[in-house]
Amino acid sequence: MASKENKPKGDSVEEQNKKLEQMDYPKNEDIYNQESHIPLDNQGKPEGEIDNNDTMGMGLDVPGSEYDNQMENIGEEDEENNYYSGADQD
């Protein structure tokens, strides 16, 4: 005879379903419903023109980046690895 002690500890199916229902959210909050539809061709590629100008550009606002401009001009821009790269030049 199986005792209650051998029964796996965890949520019952009803409890799991109740938790899943609590996780649901309205369709208007779904990020996949908020983007515009892009039609695809037979090969799964987007039809029409693609805007490739969606880049961040060179003007990133990184605090303190202006302090190492002189070092960047002489090729010392890789601060993290300079210690290791210079070790073989001794």
**What digits encode the pLDDT tens for the residues 10-62?**
789 999 888 888 888 788 888 888 888 888 889 888 887 766 666 666 666 67
Which has more confidence, 14 or 66? 14
pLDDT reported for residue 21: 84
C-alpha to C-alpha distances, 3 to 8, 12, 15, nearest whole angstrom: 11, 17, 22
Percentage helix, strand, coil for the chain under 3-state DSSP, each rounded to 5: 40, 0, 55
